[in-house]
A and B are shown apart, each in its own frame.
Chain A
């Protein structure tokens, strides 16, 4: 059997409708991650083949439930709706403008004829979606409206009259606001895709008039590709760090040959302006929380000179979180960057203009997402923009602040090296933990930690939002721990999920971001959890450790805190502790504040 890569290479050479059907056949039996999708629409939308193929390209094996024509409202409102029994992992809602507003047509003159009120439609749709949210937390992808490409306004909008096009765009803005206001609703920006690929080609009037087909089926592949990216982003965390070569990647020219004054990196002349734009694009990614690192074969002093002597260059040394500038092989540099930042190789994206370096990294570190830069700098920024490795559907406060947080971490490493003993180092940090109950304000971050934490994660149960909400409704407790110290606020870095059963409390999940491992925070967290359990009348706590390839750093947490191992299977352990007489004390160098309602207040004893 040919590999998936060959299958898609053949498809891309000739992406015809027949080729998509043929590809679907070739995919049978491929090892892919299953995903169940319910498609709800108000028009004929036979996207299944293209969507299944594009999902497979991204590693997903799609199973589709296609609701009947124009049944999206019933599907969302009816407690016995067909898609509920299908138990989808996600829902795609595709709405077509002419069907959502039947009185509207291409033959409308917005300047002189009445248009439907956008607000009325939006508030009705919002109430349908909120009602659905009350009973189900399944993520919803909401495809927005393709604006009309024809109207009867002629030149009238020239004088400022409203056009049907701008009316449709207002409607789309309303959809975006609606998505922000509801949990786990995300907009698939089909309108933007339509502009990029020619708005006219997105409708085929023949097919709309004879078969109610809203979107031209020739556009299914491009739309499917976008939906598939969203589905992947629902499931998988984005890459965390972008590692860059310098010569002919970040700037033009070989620094060792042309010197700091000769490199192309700023100004209004080509190619310097193209490189400067690429650097600004890198800073934009950094503002989204993606760390920047450098792996360059260069003289490190010369690189320092280059940044000093070219202050007009947009990228500054302080924007770079990790440097590897020397003549050693790049795979080693990448490994060192990953271990210094405490992230996996699969979280690295590596860009280099040299095919030799790219091949070397690809062959020796296949986990790193390695790309060769395009041949010309004028397309660098575009190239960076189309990478899907950084795809994420929402941006948390913690994401935005990640580059700063890593800087704090580096300062701490210095402090630890200078502190004469560990205890004085811990004291010098002046750590405060604030305990919060899970609520709307911190839920996204909590889910993110469940999805991403590997090293300090006792059970590695990858709950998503809906599963956690279900647990909460069944009486489980979900606690989030925020950490501040002399270097600043690290945000929420630890989460615990507790289950209660008569006089027993089970620690279903306990996890902590790798940024704060090795500071005895887990002792303070366990102190809080034990006291919380005691306050609920519990006498014993059960803790589990489920071994993965990555979580050995926390394998003896329970043993260290007075738990007794009652069963062991391989490296997996179940431990128990009677908390009536013996409880974990909070380290004297950590202050715990519980941000919980008065009636549930808990004190933590210090030793």
Chain B
């Protein structure tokens, strides 16, 4: 899942590599329009849907990864 998410980030934000520490503050091409595109591409890739409130909040790789994890395997996450 981690690898897949990195691929989505790289294709939408058009960067060669993404690190755990990257966020909207560290990547120049990650602006508000690209953010929406990124979120939709992530939703599409993992067949999930974020809540409206979450979308503006998850602005780092870690935050997006965590949100995806919660939606993809909620039970495992709770455990």
Residues of A within 8 A of B (CB): 16-18, 21-22, 25, 44, 46, 49, 205-207, 209-211, 213, 217-218
Contacts and interface: CB of A to CB of B under 8 A. Distances in A.
A18 B52 contact: no
Interface string B7-37: 1100110100000000000000000110011
B76 to A, nearest CB: 25
Nearest to A204: B40
Interface residues of B, number: 18
A207 B36 contact: yes
Contacts of A22: 11
A46 B33 CA distance: 7
Given A18-B44, A21-B41, 7 more contacts: A17-B41, A21-B14, A206-B55, A207-B36, A209-B52, A213-B36, A218-B44
A210 B8 contact: no
Contacts of A18: 7-8, 11-12, 41, 44-45
A224 to B, nearest CB: 14
B52 A206 contact: yes
Interface string B34-52: 0011001100110000111
Contacts of A46: 33, 36-37
Contacts of A213: 36
B56 interface: yes
Nearest to B55: A210
B37 A17 contact: yes
Contacts of B7: 18
Nearest to A44: B33
27 contacts: A16-B41, A17-B12, A17-B40, A17-B44, A18-B7, A18-B41, A18-B44, A18-B45, A21-B11, A21-B12, A21-B37, A44-B33, A46-B36, A46-B37, A205-B52, A206-B50, A206-B51, A206-B52, A206-B55, A207-B55, A209-B52, A210-B52, A210-B55, A210-B56, A211-B32, A217-B36, A217-B37
Contacts of A21: 11-12, 14, 37, 41
B55 A218 contact: no
A13 to B, nearest CB: 15
A25 B10 CA distance: 12
A332 to B, nearest CB: 49
A17 B46 CA distance: 13
A432 to B, nearest CB: 61
Contacts of A217: 36-37, 40
A217 B8 CA distance: 17
A65 to B, nearest CB: 16
Contacts of A205: 52
For the complex of A and B, 9 pairs with smallest distance between CB atoms: A206-B52, A17-B41, A18-B11, A18-B41, A46-B33, A21-B11, A16-B44, A17-B40, A210-B52
Contacts of A16: 41, 44-45
A222 B14 CA distance: 24
Interface of A (DSSP majority class): helix
Q: Which of A18, A25, A206, A210 has the most CB of B within 10 A?
A: A18
A205 B52 CA distance: 8
Nearest to A17: B41
B74 to A, nearest CB: 20
A210 B14 CA distance: 24
A318 B37 CA distance: 55
B36 A211 contact: yes
A355 B37 CA distance: 42
A230 B33 CA distance: 26
A209 B33 CA distance: 14
B56 to A, nearest CB: 6
Contacts of B41: 16-18, 21
Nearest to A19: B11
A529 to B, nearest CB: 55
Nearest to B9: A18
A49 B34 CA distance: 11
A17, A25, A218 — most chain B CB neighbours (10 Å): A17
Nearest to B56: A210
A217 B39 CA distance: 11
Contacts of B50: 206
Contacts of B11: 18, 21-22
A21, A207, A209 pick with most chain B CB within 10 angstroms: A21
Nearest to B7: A18
Contacts of A44: 33
A29 B51 CA distance: 40
A1 B67 CA distance: 38
Nearest to A205: B52
Contacts of B52: 205-206, 209-210
A21 B42 CA distance: 13
Nearest to A208: B52
Contacts of B55: 206-207, 210
B75 to A, nearest CB: 25
B43 to A, nearest CB: 9
A218 B41 CA distance: 10
Contacts of B44: 16-18, 218
A44 B23 CA distance: 23
A213 B33 CA distance: 10
Nearest to A209: B52
Contacts of A206: 50-52, 55
A44 to B, nearest CB: 8
A46 B51 CA distance: 21
B21 to A, nearest CB: 22
B77 to A, nearest CB: 22
A510 to B, nearest CB: 50
